[in-house]
Amino acid sequence: MEDYSLIGKRIPRVDGRVKVTGEAKYAADYDMPGMLWCKMVRSPHPHARILNIDTSRAEKLPGVKAVCTGKDFGGWKWGWMPKTRDEPPLAVGKVRYLAEAVAAVAAVDEDTAEEAADLVKVEYEELPGVFDPEEAMKEGAPQIHDYVDNNLSWDFHMDFGDVEKGFAEADLVNEDRFETGRVITGFLEPPAAVALWDSSGITLWAAKQSPYFVYRHLAACFKMPLNKVRIIQPFIGGGFGGTKNDSQPGDFCAVLFSKMTGRPVKFVYNMQEVLMTCRRRHNMIIHNKMGMKKDGTITAMQSKVIADGGGYTAIGPLTMYLTGCMSTLPYKLPNFKHDAYRIFTNNPISAAMRGHGITHTRFAAEIQMEMMAKELGIDPIEVRLKNAITAPHETVNKVTVNSCGLKEGLETLAKDPRWEKRSKGQPGEGPVSHGVGISGTSYLGGAMQRGHQSCGAVVRLCEDGTIDYLTGATDCGQGSDTVLVQIIAEELGLRMEDVDIKRVDTAVTPCDAGSYGSRVTVMAGEAAQKAAQDVKGQLAGVAAEKWEADPQDIVFKNQQVYVKGSPEKAMPFRKLAQIACYSGSGAVIVGKGYSQYGIGLNDFDKGLGDSGTSYSFTSHLTEVDVDIETGFVKCTDMVIAHDCGKPLNPINVEAQNQGGAIQGMGQAMYEEFAMDHGKTLNPNLADYKMPLSPDVPNIEVVDILTEDASGPYGAKEASEGSIVSAPPSIVSAIHDATGIWFKEQPVTPEKIAMALRKKKE
Amino acid sequence: MEDYSLIGKRIPRVDGRVKVTGEAKYAADYDMPGMLWCKMVRSPHPHARILNIDTSRAEKLPGVKAVCTGKDFGGWKWGWMPKTRDEPPLAVGKVRYLAEAVAAVAAVDEDTAEEAADLVKVEYEELPGVFDPEEAMKEGAPQIHDYVDNNLSWDFHMDFGDVEKGFAEADLVNEDRFETGRVITGFLEPPAAVALWDSSGITLWAAKQSPYFVYRHLAACFKMPLNKVRIIQPFIGGGFGGTKNDSQPGDFCAVLFSKMTGRPVKFVYNMQEVLMTCRRRHNMIIHNKMGMKKDGTITAMQSKVIADGGGYTAIGPLTMYLTGCMSTLPYKLPNFKHDAYRIFTNNPISAAMRGHGITHTRFAAEIQMEMMAKELGIDPIEVRLKNAITAPHETVNKVTVNSCGLKEGLETLAKDPRWEKRSKGQPGEGPVSHGVGISGTSYLGGAMQRGHQSCGAVVRLCEDGTIDYLTGATDCGQGSDTVLVQIIAEELGLRMEDVDIKRVDTAVTPCDAGSYGSRVTVMAGEAAQKAAQDVKGQLAGVAAEKWEADPQDIVFKNQQVYVKGSPEKAMPFRKLAQIACYSGSGAVIVGKGYSQYGIGLNDFDKGLGDSGTSYSFTSHLTEVDVDIETGFVKCTDMVIAHDCGKPLNPINVEAQNQGGAIQGMGQAMYEEFAMDHGKTLNPNLADYKMPLSPDVPNIEVVDILTEDASGPYGAKEASEGSIVSAPPSIVSAIHDATGIWFKEQPVTPEKIAMALRKKKE
């Protein structure tokens, strides 16, 4: 990467200063003259028929400007696919999970709105609920939706090779049941927006990860053309999939209220609403069956997944697809069968979260593989190296891998002195037992989806040689704005400060499929590079004409433009910009580009083919100290050997690997919604425990460099791999320290202490 | 024009509804939390040295957040050319006109700011002033600026052919002195803006005609790169050149105050400030000499122009250029000499106004020509037809005319029954005398300027087949947004409502040279057409591939796309958009274009070559009734036969011709600043009388169609021609009614009554 000025360099964040100083404005910070506050009226029941809604008392409260209920949306529902559009902005007819929104109020201030929400009187007829997906699948269980039988929200099946033949060839075939837990994204900024309806259409200043989703939803819900829907992105306080990657009841109600009142309308969910109602990761029960030869070779795998879908479908079909389509990586797997069932329950809605779908089944497969290797007396690294794919590779379901640094990553960990500190089957007996675990996983970059797939970029030259850069890709905290600016500046030979990235605004920034599935660097980056090259090409034409040179020979570097090999033919970039803008009629130089690597999920129903434009590989070592008395685990060290192809900004790659690993640690060790008949018992950040800074281990990130042509400058995914690799590596380390395999997340001190006590007995 | 669906049709304004309902938001309507108000402290003297400014009392007033004076701008000055940058945001050292801004205050509300402005104590040493340009030119007159001698702000000279030879060939040579009067633009919305300085740079919501001018000024003043300066355009309540086409002291002070306080800062000038300090049309004294043969042939013309420049230069050099460069149109003129002098005085600053520069000298030449024709016994239409150019034509100073409908226009008027109603040298004697006058003039379209000349456009396809259109061209009331949307919709075969034009925002809309000099339809229209064609080309590629057709054969019409001659190969535009956006990786279709017809004023100093991309021709008939007793003139009818090439929207062309004619009527008959030693005595709209609706005549606009390739669909100028043609036609009509030639505007009842009395004596 030595040829580059900015790519591959540890560049500080372009949004660092405004975030640190507090100047960055988030959706909740917006305040407008005459603005109303919107509050939701929520159901106290997880499953109930709505008999009547009496809004009269609320409407009479001074300061209340409007009240709406489900019927005000004319039966419109949304969902990821046409046939799964089952979620109304406000419940109609019945509620399907506790705290589902049934009405909303708009009032002159937040207090009045809260008071008014309490005055809306809803009569319910309680219905029997079902909260366990295995119960919900049974004949005779309460039916949550009419449009499917047996509460089967979605099912997805894969069958490649011949698993029975594979199992027959194996020396050891194990079956285990895993469960992945109920966790949520944990952003610090709750869903919030300000809506304005005027004759220019709908404008929404909204905390969204992928503004083009809510853009389409609002157009559909309110029957508006897309060019009359404008989503303006304030700074975003974390995304991680699910909630902010989708629309919220508040979005629709605020827009409707603005239409009704002619005033701007704001909503901000509180943390209780977030933790009780927002989209969370699916809890999945995974029955995994694996066949292995004595030498460790995996011969077949069969998985049955039962996912708790909650009350509506949301993006669930894609989650189910992802549980299977990536199971054939990162280990050679000639025979694979997969059956995934998403089941409606009266729990809150499950949807995407960082490591979407893949983290569940990879956890099961990874732990099971190591359990079996142990049974066969094979070292954890050996079994992985034995089975690890090498590039180029095509999986049995036609996933094509063009670069793979898994072996190099595992070998890096094997050489790490910390790997030698493991107990090797002889766990300590206390008071503190040390353990080291490992995992090797894969994730996709440039995730493919249904619908409009690509990312666009527009780059404008200002006549003083500075650059305006317009992208529809949202930086929801991951640092992508910085990387995208690096790409533009690198291509044009400019400094970071010469390129100004504009806030996303669907009315003016080019369409972008969204900031999810580790797409931004890979796909918005491809678009950025093309748009910058378009500007460069136009300027090179001007320079080439002046110098009578070949445009191909014009070099842009260090704010200079020159003819390769002719040092006398050089001028500052700024000067060339002025010549282009001021000569003759004066050019208005605009560059454009869009990503073309990704394609739609053509074989979505079969789990066949690629689900991303490229694949990252993560080898993850975790070191823990386990208190044998209390079961308390202190995770002390992690080493993440991550193949993201080429790290365009190593600080960012490091930070994303660390962030993913810590979030993965949260779900492996700490986080869990305590549920009672659909009620979230711990809807606050004191009782729903996420890792805090004292919990964070020392995390070393090692970049494993590989060559992949699909991303800009060879970049692949760097933001989700480690949330997949962390949990199995932690569980492996806890096993190393205790001799016990835990198959249900989170592995809490209680569970460890209980298991150790049982083991002793 | 029959082939078009929208071009050439009477399409209502796209901004009509929001303006009529009052929803349209103007700069003064913006209100932001924490916003401060800025007020200016203005000089009570027209010429004085500033000895001391004591801001302490103002600073102590509760609610005052900041006070600034000229020195806070570090000596920065602005102006149209580098060597004429003589105007500071706030006066430094001395004031050069009465009510010049010397300091400013920012306070929590408007009242407090006004109070604080009164508390700023400025000590002055009064200097002798000079208020008449002819006096100011004299040796020993008070010197207003140090950087020039004899108060000569700018001079401009042309000398083509041989005027002495021309005068020698003439049968009649006359010399006359004309004076054009002190008038102002008369917009209803005063200058106003809200400024915000934060880490993203400067944002200014400003009432600007050409936002890219203030964009450059703010970047230069505050030493910011252009991509950190953002001008957002609210709706604009009239422009007409001068004030809103330039920056205002308030703009700089509001930005500085926002930088000082971190808060948004607003200013709104009141009408007194507008009428006392804003840029107005130059009053010009024109000594005109013309030679004519007995048959009416003009042999030579020599003009000496003395313009009252006021205290600073502003755009004055361009005004001086325009007084001469267009004098060779619309009549054949083989010999022409021109000497123009712009003189500093201690009057308010003179600058551009609709009909910029040209209206002055054309008034003089037109009246003088008719006076001489009368002397030679030649009919007013005859003398014009005798001399009128026909296309193609190149003037003696190399102005090239590719289309000209002047003769057709004059012939149209000659056939109008109203023309027969003239007194023909036998004016009535009262009580009311009827008169009919005529004129034939020319104006430029697509005015050229210094600096970045061209206009850009970006057109984005939304996946539902609707269109986002981004232009930097401001509609300040002239209706250009409607015409630009017509162009985009026409090219793509869509309806008006399918295209959404975005508000101008320099951060995201492509650079545009400005809404002045009748550029928008011609140049922004060219850009719009190209950008739409770019989108069409991309979509045609998709359709051609699908239908195995030649992309050239794909037709876009009536919201349908089809292959020419193959009716079975057709689909709705919307469908094609979806195919393009959803197939494969999904295209992000963005079209771009910029105008290339216009070029810079390369021979600005010599008055050689074109000053516009094309030229309009206006033949103007006016009918008046003059009260012989009181001198009161009722203008009853006008017929404007205007050659704008092709009228893209005849309602707009009609409205612009009407508006220009009424504004021209204002300066010919009503409007005049009463000045006393630099003081404007009538700074209110009761005493500065503009035409009101009862004053407006019946105005018929006849489109004279010509063929010109330079503008989109053959469009030329339609917004300024009639302000040039109206005054001579009115004065000609008043002469027809009274037998008296008036050479000084405005021709008020007092002047007429006095002249009639004198004539009787």
CATH code where residue A645 lies: 3.30.365.10
Length of chain B: 761
- Give the residue from B545, B571, B594 where a domain finishes: B594
Which residue of chain B has the CA closest to A512?
B588
Q: Hey, is the C-beta of B464 within 8 angstroms of any chain A C-beta?
A: yes
**Mean pLDDT throughout B343-363?**
97
Taking the C-alpha atoms of residue B620 and residue A58, their distance in angstroms, rounded to an integer, is 66
**Mean pLDDT throughout A393-411?**
97
Residues A581 and A699 in one domain: no
DSSP B184: B
Residue A365's alpha-carbon distances to A338, A373, A643, A662, in angstroms, are: 12, 12, 20, 21
Burial B73-83 (b: 16+ CB within 10 A, else e): beebbbbbeee
Contact at CB, A31 and B33, closer than 8 angstroms: yes
pTM across the whole model: 0.95
Tens-digit pLDDT profile for residues B367-389 = 999 999 999 999 999 999 999 99
* Chain B residues in contact with A595 (beta carbon < 8 A): 585
Residues A256 and A302 in one domain: no
- Give the pairing type, strands A48-54 and A94-95: antiparallel
A340: β partners: A156, A305
Q: Hey, is the C-beta of A15 within 8 angstroms of any chain B C-beta?
A: no
pLDDT (0 to 100) of residue A517: 92
Confidence of residue A3 (pLDDT cuts 50, 70, 90): confident
Count of domains in chain A?
A: 3
Q: Hey, is the C-beta of B613 within 8 angstroms of any chain A C-beta?
A: no
Q: Hey, is the C-beta of A18 within 8 angstroms of any chain B C-beta?
A: yes
Residue A736 · residue A626 · CB < 8 Å: no
- Phi, psi torsion values for B724, nearest 5 degrees: -80, -40
* Chain B residues in contact with A453 (beta carbon < 8 A): 582, 585-586
Residue B373 · residue B380 · CB < 8 Å: yes
Return residues 440-459 of B near A (CB < 8 Å).
Answer: 451-456, 458
pLDDT (0 to 100) of residue A605: 87
pLDDT (0 to 100) of residue A652: 96
* Chain A residues in contact with B266 (beta carbon < 8 A): none
Confidence of residue B596 (pLDDT cuts 50, 70, 90): confident
Residues A589 and A672 in one domain: no
Of A226, A454, A508, the CB nearest to B587: A454
Q: Hey, is the C-beta of B595 within 8 angstroms of any chain A C-beta?
A: yes
Closest C-alpha among B471, B594, B592, B595 to residue B210: B471
Residue A281 · residue A323 · CB < 8 Å: no
Question: Within a domain: residue B440?
Answer: yes
Taking the C-alpha atoms of residue B429 and residue A167, their distance in angstroms, rounded to an integer, is 120
Confidence of residue B430 (pLDDT cuts 50, 70, 90): confident
Residue A600 in this model has a pLDDT that exceeds 70: no
* Chain A residues in contact with B613 (beta carbon < 8 A): none
Closest C-alpha among A111, A107, A120 to residue A62: A107
Residue A65 · residue A112 · CB < 8 Å: no
Q: Hey, is the C-beta of A597 within 8 angstroms of any chain B C-beta?
A: yes
Contact at CB, B463 and A500, closer than 8 angstroms: no
DSSP A173-231: EEEEEEE----B---SSPPEEEEEEETTEEEEEE--SSHHHHHHHHHHHTT--GGGEEE
- Give the residue from A221, A253, A276 where a domain finishes: A276
Taking the C-alpha atoms of residue B61 and residue B117, their distance in angstroms, rounded to an integer, is 10
Tens-digit pLDDT profile for residues A112-168 = 999 999 999 999 999 999 999 999 999 999 999 999 999 999 999 999 999 999 999
Residue B61 in this model has a pLDDT that exceeds 70: yes
Residues B564 and B613 in one domain: no
ipTM exceeds 0.90, yes or no: yes
**Mean pLDDT throughout A435-444?**
98
The amino acid that residue A568 corresponds to is E
Return residues 188-207 of A near B (CB < 8 Å).
Answer: 198-201
Contact at CB, A585 and B597, closer than 8 angstroms: yes
Closest C-alpha among A454, A450, A446, A456 to residue A600: A450
Return residues 201-260 of B near A (CB < 8 Å).
Answer: 201, 219, 225-228
Tens-digit pLDDT profile for residues B124-150 = 999 999 999 999 999 999 999 999 999
Burial A259-298 (b: 16+ CB within 10 A, else e): bbeebbbbbbbeeebbbbbbbbbbbbbbebbbbbeeebbb
Return residues 491-510 of A near B (CB < 8 Å).
Answer: 497-500, 502, 505, 507-510
pLDDT (0 to 100) of residue A258: 98
Taking the C-alpha atoms of residue B637 and residue A506, their distance in angstroms, rounded to an integer, is 50
Question: Within a domain: residue B179?
Answer: no
- CA-based nearest distance B358→chain A, Å: 23
Return residues 135-174 of B near A (CB < 8 Å).
Answer: none
Classify residue B208 by burial, with Cβ atoms within 10 Å: 0-12, 13-18, 19+: buried
Tens-digit pLDDT profile for residues B191-214 = 999 999 999 999 999 999 999 999
Q: What is the mean pLDDT of chain B?
A: 96
Q: Hey, is the C-beta of A16 within 8 angstroms of any chain B C-beta?
A: no
**Mean pLDDT throughout B590-599?**
87
Vertex B309 angle, CA B308 and B314, to 5°: 160
Taking the C-alpha atoms of residue A516 and residue A245, their distance in angstroms, rounded to an integer, is 8
CB atoms under 10 Å from CB of B432, counted, come to 14
Residue B603 in this model has a pLDDT that exceeds 90: no
* Chain A residues in contact with B592 (beta carbon < 8 A): 590, 592
Of A467, A502, A588, the CB nearest to B508: A502
CB atoms under 10 Å from CB of B599, counted, come to 16
DSSP A88: -
Question: Within a domain: residue B155?
Answer: no
What ranges in B626-691 are assigned the alpha helix state H? Answer: 650-665
Residues A484 and A570 in one domain: yes
Q: What is the CATH number of the domain that holds A51?
A: 3.90.1170.50
Find the radius of gyration of the CA atoms of chain B: 27
Residue B262 · residue B335 · CB < 8 Å: no
For chain A, what is the total number of helices (H) and then of strands (E)?
A: 18, 32
Q: What is the dihedral of CA A661, A666, A668, A669, to 10 degrees?
A: 130
The amino acid that residue B167 corresponds to is F
- CA-based nearest distance A347→chain B, Å: 34
Contacts of B169 (CB under 8 A, 6+ apart): B291, B293, B299, B300
Residue A286 · residue A121 · CB < 8 Å: no
Tens-digit pLDDT profile for residues A263-288 = 999 999 999 999 999 999 999 999 99
Question: Within a domain: residue B181?
Answer: no
Question: Within a domain: residue A306?
Answer: yes
Contact at CB, B598 and A582, closer than 8 angstroms: no
Residues B215 and B293 in one domain: no
Residues A91 and A227 in one domain: yes
Tens-digit pLDDT profile for residues A658-695 = 999 999 999 999 999 999 999 999 999 999 999 999 99
Residue A544 in this model has a pLDDT that exceeds 60: yes
Residue B614 in this model has a pLDDT that exceeds 80: yes
- Bond before B44 cis per omega within 30 degrees: no
Q: Hey, is the C-beta of A462 within 8 angstroms of any chain B C-beta?
A: yes
Residues B58 and B200 in one domain: yes
Residues A606 and A753 in one domain: yes
Q: Which helix (H) or strand (E) holds A409?
A: helix A406-415
Chosen for mutation from B501, B503, B511, B597 (greatest number of chain A CBs closer than 10 Å) is B511
Q: Hey, is the C-beta of B612 within 8 angstroms of any chain A C-beta?
A: no
The amino acid that residue A486 corresponds to is Q
Residues B315 and B440 in one domain: yes
Closest C-alpha among B440, A675, B548, B542 to residue B556: B542
Which residue of chain A has the CA closest to B578?
A452
Residue A629's alpha-carbon distances to A626, A750, A752, A759, B30, in angstroms, are: 9, 10, 9, 13, 65
Contact at CB, B585 and A598, closer than 8 angstroms: yes
CB atoms under 10 Å from CB of B341, counted, come to 23
Contact at CB, B597 and A584, closer than 8 angstroms: no
Of A219, A513, A588, the CB nearest to B510: A588
Range(s) of the domain holding residue A527: 454-594
Q: What is the mean pLDDT of chain A?
A: 96
Of A17, A467, A598, the CB nearest to B227: A467
Look at residue B738 and give its three-state secondary structure: helix
- Give the residue from A276, A302, A330 where a domain finishes: A276
Residues A475 and A359 in one domain: no
C-alpha of A252 from chain center: 23
Q: How far apart are the first and last CA of chain B?
A: 58
Question: Within a domain: residue A18?
Answer: no
Contact at CB, A585 and B595, closer than 8 angstroms: yes
Tens-digit pLDDT profile for residues A26-37 = 999 999 999 999
Question: Within a domain: residue B159?
Answer: no
pLDDT (0 to 100) of residue B10: 97
* Chain A residues in contact with B595 (beta carbon < 8 A): 585
pLDDT (0 to 100) of residue B573: 98
**Mean pLDDT throughout B44-63?**
98
Q: How many CB pairs under 8 A join A and B?
A: 165
Of B21, B225, B505, the CB nearest to A464: B225
Residue A198 in this model has a pLDDT that exceeds 70: yes
Residue A2 in this model has a pLDDT that exceeds 70: no
DSSP B316-373: HHHHHHHHHHTTT-SB--S-EEEEEEEEE-SSPPEE--SSTTHHHHHHHHHHHHHHHH
Return residues 522-541 of A near B (CB < 8 Å).
Answer: 527
Vertex A685 angle, CA A681 and A688, to 5°: 50
Tens-digit pLDDT profile for residues B282-329 = 999 999 999 999 999 999 999 999 999 999 999 999 999 999 999 999
DSSP A668-734: III----EETTEES--STTTS----GGGPPEEEEEEEE---SSSGGGB---SSHHHHHHHHHHHHHH
Question: Within a domain: residue B268?
Answer: yes
Residue A451 in this model has a pLDDT that exceeds 90: no
Residue B693 in this model has a pLDDT that exceeds 80: yes
Edge-first strand order for the sheet with A590-594 is A499-501, A467-471, A456-461, A590-594
The structure tokens listed for A419 are: 């790997």
Residues B121 and B253 in one domain: yes
pLDDT (0 to 100) of residue A58: 98
The structure tokens listed for A599 are: 């394609």
Helix axes B358-375, B380-387, angle to 10 degrees: 120
Closest C-alpha among B209, B237, B247 to residue B26: B237
Contact at CB, A592 and B592, closer than 8 angstroms: yes
Least confident of A603-612, B24-33, B103-112: A603-612
